[in-house]
Amino acid sequence: MSDSKKRRPGLESVSPVVPVQTTYYVPERDVDKSPILQCINLGISFGGLKAVEDFNLTLGRTEIAGLIGPNGAGKTTIFNLLTKVYQPTHGTILLDGKDTANMSTAQVNRAGIARTFQNIRLFHNQTVADNVLIGLHNEMDYGMLGGILRLPGYWRAEKIARQRAMEYLALFHLDQHADELAGSLPYGAQRRLEIARALATNPSLLLLDEPAAGMNPSETAELMENIVKIRDTFHIAILLIEHDMSLVMNICEGIAVLNFGRLIAKGNADAIRNDPTVVEAYLGRKGAKES
Amino acid sequence: MNMKRYLKDARSDLLTYAGVIIAFIIISTLKSHGALNRSQSGLLVPICCYIVMAVSLNLTVGILGDLSLGHAGFMSVGAFSGVVTAMSLMNVIPSAPARLALAMLVGAVCAAIVGFLVGIPVLRLNGDYLAIVTLAFGEIIKELITCLIVGVDSEGLHVIFNVNGSKTANDLTLLDGGRIIIKGAQGATGTKTIATFSAGFVLIMITLVIVQNLIRSRHGRAIMAVRDNRIAADSVGIPVTKYKMMAFVTSASLAGAAGALFGLNYSNLAAAKFDFNTSILVLVFVVLGGLGNIWGSIIATVILYILPEALRGFANYRMLIYAIVLIVVMLTTNNPVLKNYIASLRSKFSKDSEKEASAS
Amino acid sequence: MKFLAYLVSGISLGSIYAIIALGYTMVYGIAKMLNFAHGDVIMVGGYISFLAATNLGLPVLLSVLVAMVFCTVLGIVIEGLAYRPLRSAPSLAVLITAIGVSYFLQNAALLIFGANPKAYTPVVSGTLKLFDGQLSISYVSIVTVICCIVIMLALTAFTGKTRMGKAMRACSEDKGAAQLMGINVNRTISLTFAIGSALAAVAGALLCSFSPTLMPTTGSMPGIKAFTAAVFGGIGSIPGAFIGGILLGVIEALGRAYISTQLSNSIVFAVLIIILLVRPAGLLGKRTQEKV
């Protein structure tokens, strides 16, 4: 433990002074409703290294929240914990009040969390439409035999699913590309397709891992509009990891700041800008003194 | 709407069915006019079996994306359970086609059960580790069947598991009029051959309906999603293990049905026939036909199964030539220059056909 | 005492597996391919040393050396002609090509040497009698075990200490990066095949001394089992291949003696399956987890 302290400047000043109530910040609109997500003392260690520790976060039902922090702070690890790619070593995740402790990744998705990936993970060899249809997998209800014998239920479900897939694609201006292979799309379109696919699973919480990475400013601007539009259309909560601060400050109502695997603050944009611990985490202690 | 793609898929499926039906009609006509000699018509049923084997293995290797080196094991299970079924019900069901159909069904069910049991450990592994474990299971199944001694008499089935090689068929203590069906290492002996080319054709059609319709259903898409990106498939709520198992068991059961047909085509058949080399043979059909390409599997099976026979004139050189053909085909089809050329031809072709379509 | 005898025979059989597995593991580690033709190179090695000893009348040691040289060249030629053009091809294409090479070697041997088994003269004869003759160990067994240990230590030193060995390890981690560091990747892979094939020749001579029938298919099953041994120990790991080979031989010998002759291969494979379920990357293998 003492070793890791030496390697991590600023750590000693971080943990004790975290004002716990800030992690319960949700936008006013959602205050009276039960939160969609609550993380309580969430943590994971890899062979003794605590990648995430005592992570507490509450998300409002229709909140757009940002998860920011320096490189290596553990942001993607949090996503992996929420979606059970890693099983947390301690702590609790409550999704809409339900404990996800024994769920697998697929079960968590069916319970309502969908995500995108930092390094895009599409089904590259399948068409754009099929990617979304795979997202709609659990929305269809015919069985294996029904599919093989092509019973009426198969045709009905496939028809509805194909229509819905096209609606999702249209939302992201991908409908003209429906028959192209996903791998042949340009980068920005691939990111949009990944969001469309995640939305198709009908989530109540959408996790976006660096959605604007590799996008040019006009694409980013469009993405920001899209994110707000998604929230307003589907009435879901969105948690996003992003390094583009203009995006985060513009559309995120709540911003959570992560440093060395710990949440050091959550609040609205103004609160975060003026939080001394946040400034310190980004600029170091010296920077904090100067500012 | 993406109906265009949809119709294209449906059209290619229908073409496959049509191709198989036309081939069946031509060959049956030739056969009934006596245009095929004995050794040629003797190839028909095995070719049907290997087509089903290749299409079903394509489901595991091409569609699911897991390399299986033990597919012959499932064929073996199907063959011997099918032979036992057909032989022991000889007096109960006098109609040979009905017995054959039941034998194939039993073969499929037995292979599916074994496939499920094998799948539990196998599907937890990945890549080459998975491959080596399927190989291991193939060999285990072969040796276990080599230990089986089965006979039937008026009291029913008698089964001995001959672990240390000390038992013989006499230990079955069959009553008078009883029949020995499987004799350990010698395998099935004295089987009444009831397999027919027509049955092979029907089995191929059933296999095609199952595999092609599965691929175009939500289950098939889920299986391909697992192949392309397991983590992403997981993240959109697809239970990965379930779909891996679905593909694996379906593939095993089809191999079992093919095995039953195969077993009932020979009066003598040893378990050693279904060894690692047979699994590899089928894998070669699948890879040369193109992973995930059902029609390709069928064509490759027919060509490669006939090739060694056609090379009989070269006597001892035929397998050497086969090996060289295999290597040369792999080297040329994977040559980057050639590949790009074919891809450019193909895109040109598809653009032309699109133009035609929009013009009409 | 009987148990001891079985154990000794298991260890010496295992040493042969280990030598083959070492070749397998090196080739796999660097070329990331299942070289199914490896077992057939063993067979070729057996035939060459057989011919050198009987037809040319060379002394045993020299005949093995001739076989090693021949197989080294063969390995380099196979790699250059059949595998190198497929460096960027899908792994299944390479696998099928390897199977083609395996068929080719078997059938070429069948044409040249015929299907009749040849009676191979063991590299050393005689047995060592211990405990008043109650336990007899053939000198072949002793030579085999010593060879295996020497080869294992030499390979460990080679990959750990020498420049070429380090280049090999670099290639096995990341070929692109190795190339950028000025390592000649093609030459390194050729060298790996050369070493693996030379080991196969040694294994061929020892295998045929152990069970003195030599046929075109002699190499197939030992090849598969040695690959199993390599997976057993954790493929890519040199000590892993050694331990895997020895364990496999011992399990096979004891299983044959105490459980069932008929099921001896099944016992080996069943243990493999169990080991892989407990340790999915083998005994000494490193498990790599995909980063999300």
CB contact under 8 A, C261 and B284: no
CB contact under 8 A, A110 and B218: no
Q: What is the pLDDT of residues C106-160, one digit of tens each?
A: 999 998 988 888 888 777 777 777 777 777 788 888 889 999 999 999 999 998 8
Cα–Cα distance, C18 to C245 (Å, whole number): 4
Q: Give C199 to chain B, closest Cα distance, Å.
A: 22
CB contact under 8 A, B218 and A137: yes
Q: Do A106 and A209 have their domain in common?
A: yes
Structure tokens at A82: 């929420």
CB contact under 8 A, C262 and B326: no
B67-71, C35-39, C285-289, range with the lowest pLDDT? C285-289
Confidence at C199, pLDDT banded by 50, 70, 90:
very high
Number of domains in chain A: 2
CB contact under 8 A, B221 and A106: no
Q: Do A98 and A237 have their domain in common?
A: yes
Q: Do A122 and A228 have their domain in common?
A: no
- Residues in chain A within 8 Å Cβ distance of C292: 76, 80, 85, 117
Residues 6+ apart with CB under 8 A from A256: A23, A57, A65, A66, A67, A68, A263, A265, A266
The verdict on residue B162 lying in a domain is yes
Mean pLDDT along residues C253-261: 87
Mean pLDDT along residues A246-270: 87
CB contact under 8 A, A126 and B221: yes
Chain C residue whose CA is closest to A80: C292
Residue with tokens 């997981």, as numbered in its chain: B234
Where is pLDDT greater, at A17 or C284? C284
A181 inside 8 A of chain B by CB:
no
Does B233 have pLDDT greater than 80? yes
Cα–Cα distance, C27 to C235 (Å, whole number): 10
Mean pLDDT along residues B32-52: 90
Mutation target vs B (from A80, A85, A105; most B CBs, 10 A cutoff): A105
Does C290 have pLDDT greater than 70? no
Q: What is the pLDDT of residues A55-82, one digit of tens each?
A: 888 898 999 999 998 888 889 999 999 9
Q: Do A36 and A159 have their domain in common?
A: no
CB contact under 8 A, A137 and B222: yes
Mean pLDDT along residues C81-93: 86
CB contact under 8 A, B287 and C228: no
Domain that holds residue A28: 2-112+203-290
Q: Do A179 and A256 have their domain in common?
A: no
The verdict on residue C284 lying in a domain is no
Mean pLDDT along residues C96-104: 91
Does A284 have pLDDT greater than 70? no
Number of domains in chain B: 1
The verdict on residue B281 lying in a domain is no
A2-6, B214-218, C100-104, C169-173, range with the lowest pLDDT? A2-6
Does A32 have pLDDT greater than 90? no
Max mean pLDDT range (A46-50, B8-12, B127-131, B146-150):
B146-150
The verdict on residue C279 lying in a domain is no
Number of helical H runs and strand E runs in chain C: 11, 4
Find the distance separating the first CA and the last CA of chain C, reported in whole Å: 55
Among the partner residues A110, A148, A201, nearest to B213 by beta-carbon distance: A148
Cα–Cα distance, B148 to B221 (Å, whole number): 40
Residue with tokens 């051959």, as numbered in its chain: B193
A85 inside 8 A of chain C by CB:
yes
Cα–Cα distance, B251 to B59 (Å, whole number): 6
C292 inside 8 A of chain A by CB:
yes
Least Cα distance to A75 among A104, A108, A115, A102 occurs for A115
Contact between residue C14 and residue C268 where contact means Cβ atoms under 8 Å apart: no
Cα–Cα distance, A254 to A31 (Å, whole number): 12
The verdict on residue C121 lying in a domain is yes
Backbone phi and psi for residue B70, each to the nearest 5 degrees, phi listed first: -130, 25
Structure tokens at A156: 């009905």
Q: What is the pLDDT of residues C227-242, one digit of tens each?
A: 889 888 888 888 999 9
C278 inside 8 A of chain A by CB:
no
Q: What is the pLDDT of residues A165-180, one digit of tens each?
A: 999 999 999 999 999 9
Q: Residue A233's domain is classified under what CATH number?
A: 3.40.50.300
Does B355 have pLDDT greater than 70? no
Q: Give C241 to chain A, closest Cα distance, Å.
A: 27
CB contact under 8 A, B132 and C111: no
CB contact under 8 A, A106 and B240: yes
Stretch 179-238 of chain C: residues touching chain B, C-beta under 8 Å: 224, 227-228, 231, 235
The verdict on residue C36 lying in a domain is yes
Mean pLDDT score across all residues of chain A: 85
Q: Give B4 to chain C, closest Cα distance, Å.
A: 30
Mean pLDDT score across all residues of chain C: 88
pTM as predicted: 0.87
Rounded to 5°, angle at Cα B216 from B212 and B217: 115
A269 inside 8 A of chain C by CB:
no
Q: Give A27 to chain B, closest Cα distance, Å.
A: 28
The verdict on residue C250 lying in a domain is no
- Looking at chain B, the whole-number percentage of residues with pLDDT higher than 70 is 94
Does A1 have pLDDT greater than 60? no
Cα–Cα distance, B339 to B334 (Å, whole number): 7
- Residues in chain C within 8 Å Cβ distance of A76: 292
CB contact under 8 A, C100 and B133: no
- Please provide the DSSP assignment of B210-231 as one string: HHHHHHTSHHHHHHHHHHH-HH
- Residues in chain A within 8 Å Cβ distance of B228: 123-126
Contact between residue B184 and residue B146 where contact means Cβ atoms under 8 Å apart: yes
Q: Give C226 to chain B, closest Cα distance, Å.
A: 11
Number of domains in chain C: 1
CB contact under 8 A, B143 and C86: no
The verdict on residue A196 lying in a domain is no
Q: What is the pLDDT of residues B277-299, one digit of tens each?
A: 899 889 989 988 988 999 999 99
Q: Establish whether this prediction's ipTM goes over 0.90.
A: no
The verdict on residue A207 lying in a domain is yes
Does B222 have pLDDT greater than 90? yes
Stretch 187-216 of chain A: residues touching chain B, C-beta under 8 Å: 197-198, 200-201
- pLDDT of res. B312: 73
Cα–Cα distance, B147 to C263 (Å, whole number): 8
Q: Give B304 to chain C, closest Cα distance, Å.
A: 13
Domain that holds residue C167: 13-219
The verdict on residue A7 lying in a domain is yes
Neighbours of chain B (3+ CB pairs under 8 A): A, C
Contacts 24+ apart (CB under 8 A), B38-47: B39/B309, B41/B197, B43/B305, B43/B306, B43/B309, B44/B197, B44/B200, B45/B195, B45/B196, B45/B197, B45/B199, B45/B200, B45/B261, B45/B262, B45/B265, B46/B262, B46/B265, B46/B305, B47/B200, B47/B301, B47/B302, B47/B305, B47/B306
CB contact under 8 A, B238 and A106: yes
Q: Give A218 to chain B, closest Cα distance, Å.
A: 28
Chain A residue whose CA is closest to C290: A85
Chain A residue whose CA is closest to B234: A106
Domain that holds residue B234: 16-274
Boundary residue ending a domain (A149, A164, A188): A188
SS3 A65: strand
Q: Give C286 to chain A, closest Cα distance, Å.
A: 15
CB contact under 8 A, C265 and B143: yes
The verdict on residue A198 lying in a domain is no
CB contact under 8 A, B136 and C273: yes
Boundary residue ending a domain (A138, A158, A188): A188
The verdict on residue A193 lying in a domain is no
Mutation target vs C (from B162, B330, B333, B339; most C CBs, 10 A cutoff): B330
- Residues in chain B within 8 Å Cβ distance of C104: 320, 323-324, 327
CB contact under 8 A, A134 and B1: no
Neighbours of chain A (3+ CB pairs under 8 A): B, C
CB contact under 8 A, B225 and A126: yes
Mutation target vs A (from B4, B124, B234, B235; most A CBs, 10 A cutoff): B235
